[in-house]
Amino acid sequence: MIKKLNNIGDCGIVCDFGDEVNKSINTSVIKLFNHIKNQVSKGNLEGILNYTPSYNKLIINFDLEKINSSKIIDFLKSVNFSKINLSQNSKKWTIPVCYDFEMDLENMSKTLKMNKDEIINIHLNTDFFVYMIGFIPGHPFMGDLDKKFETNRLETPRVKLPRGSVGIVEKFCNIYPFESPGGWNIVGKTPLQLFNINKKITSLLSPGDTVIFKSITKKDLLSFIK
């Protein structure tokens, strides 16, 4: 549940659910995100410009000419989280990944004292929960990996990572939707397009979705790309 409500300047509110990063807290964040989205679409909450979820916060931006923070805070305090059904909005995805395009399995194998096949097997057998989309458009932050599998960021981030790179840091997994800098440990690559500006729903994944990975060969990946 919401622990604190604070104003950010004249036209922003942060809904603070605490400092922990876990699925339970993030589920509450996503429930509120979906509830606000639903109320805005129905015209029951005018003046809302944007609402952005993170691991344990939700930021709401609004138009001062149409609504004020007091009205929004009253609305937020009236929300009954027990009556919001997250499953109606969430989807389950199976994402292909080719581990032949890894960059860091050798170093991860030494650090974790596991062979590469064991690391890949753990990755394939983890149900990932999408905590949030951020950093760049369509970029998912997914958890939760087993603690014995946790790794740190690279000491020196790479200047460029190919689109579709699948990375791991600590208990999280991500996918780079575009070529970009990055400091995560890259274990493979997916051919799927995670963000398309020309589609009505631009981002393939959304907060609250679940993801499992399916191993494909290099030949399969190249045939996807074609």
Q: Helix, strand, or coil here: 101?
A: helix
What pTM was computed for the model?
A: 0.88
Distance from C-alpha of 196 to C-alpha of 202, rounded to nearest angstrom: 5
Give 210's contacts (C-beta < 8 A, 6+ positions apart). 90, 91, 92, 93, 127, 128, 129, 130
Which has more pLDDT, 204 or 226? 204
Sheet of strand 140-143, all strands in order from the earlier edge strand to the far edge: 92-97, 210-215, 128-133, 140-143, 172-175, 165-169, 185-189
Mean pLDDT along residues 212-216: 98
Residues 95/214, Cβ–Cβ less than 8 Å: yes
For the segment 113-121, the average pLDDT, to the nearest whole number, is: 95
According to DSSP, the β-strands at 92-97 and 210-215 are parallel
pLDDT for the residue numbered 223? 86
Whether the bond into 127 is cis, omega within 30 of 0: no
Within a 10 A sphere around the Cβ of 223, how many other Cβ atoms?
11
Q: How far is C-alpha 77 from the geometric centre of its chain's CA atoms? A: 26
The pLDDT of residue 154: 96
* Cβ 212 vs Cβ 127: under 8 Å: yes
First to last CA, the chain: 46
Q: Which two tokens stand for residue 50?
A: 């944007």
Average pLDDT over residues 127-138: 94
Residue written as tokens 């930021």?
Answer: 59
pLDDT in tens, 142-152: 999 988 888 99
Q: What is the mean pLDDT of residues 156-177?
A: 97
How many Cβ atoms are within 10 Å of 38's Cβ, its own excluded? 14
Instruction: Give the chain's mean pLDDT.
Output: 93
Q: Is the pLDDT of residue 222 over 90?
A: no
Higher pLDDT, 223 or 19: 19
